[in-house]
Chains A and B, each alone.
Chain A
């Protein structure tokens, strides 16, 4: 079975500061990794995903994430955040080559950007 852990339920940060949202996963098989963002009262939107190749993945809105296989991590970073980045961020995995493409989500991290 697969599981995803997002240890930080909430991360407060000042505008223009850098931020890192942590994600660790557990799986006995190869997985794909995703970060989704959910703005207030909206659905989920894909930020970025790792399927294969370069372990540094760049996404929308200036976010990037690095896949670290040995540490089973996929942390999300942004060098300078804006007020508009305030949202909930979800890390997720799906099984590489599995029968379905279902996503297994972490519990989410609320990024609260303060002026």
Chain B
């Protein structure tokens, strides 16, 4: 079946602009995660959605970052007033249940964001 898809695959933007990154999880998965992969910081958790529960936003690095998940499916990560340190690969993952059960997270191919 279809895996997690992300768009765009690459995004180049100018400092100060806003960007939106999209994630389509695997159908039927109730949990969705965003991570960031950068040379300096490695792989970092950003935000987690599970069903209709309040999201866990504990990993968002600043208030310029926000995310929403509409209809329990597609998610959009928005970065406002981008800075050069936001340059990274943004990875989305989904899993069947979420919570603390250790279920497998399936990752998308990522969006490579470059801020000039």
Tell whether A69 is near chain B: CB-to-CB under 8 Å.
Answer: no
CB atoms of A49 and B102 under 8 A apart: yes
Task: Select from chain B the residue with minimum beta-carbon distance to A32.
Answer: B102
A101 with B107, Cβ < 8 A, contacts A43-B91, A90-B43 known? no
Proximity bits, A97-115, B CB within 8 Å = 1, else 0 = 1111111111110000000
Task: Select from chain B the residue with minimum beta-carbon distance to A6.
Answer: B42
CB atoms of A51 and B102 under 8 A apart: yes
A104 with B100, Cβ < 8 A, contacts A42-B109, A43-B110 known? no
Tell whether A46 is near chain B: CB-to-CB under 8 Å.
Answer: yes
Proximity bits, B78-100, A CB within 8 Å = 1, else 0 = 00000000000001010101111
> How many residues on chain A are close to B (CB under 8 Å)?
26
Tell whether B50 is near chain A: CB-to-CB under 8 Å.
Answer: yes
Q: How far is the CB of A15 from chain B (nearest CB, A)?
A: 27
Please report the number of residue pairs spanning A and B whose Cβ atoms sit closer than 8 angstroms: 70
Q: Give Cα A94–Cα B33 distance, bound, in whole angstroms.
A: 13
Tell whether A95 is near chain B: CB-to-CB under 8 Å.
Answer: yes
CB atoms of A96 and B110 under 8 A apart: no
Sorting the interface of chain B by its residue count into under 10, 10 to 19, 20 to 34 or 35 or more gives 20 to 34
Task: Select from chain A the residue with minimum beta-carbon distance to B3.
Answer: A43
A101 with B42, Cβ < 8 A, contacts A43-B91, A45-B107 known? no
Q: Which residue of A44, A45, A99, A106 is within 8 Å of B100 (Cβ)?
A: A99
Proximity bits, B21-59, A CB within 8 Å = 1, else 0 = 000000000010101000000111100101000001001
CB atoms of A103 and B100 under 8 A apart: no
CB atoms of A103 and B42 under 8 A apart: no
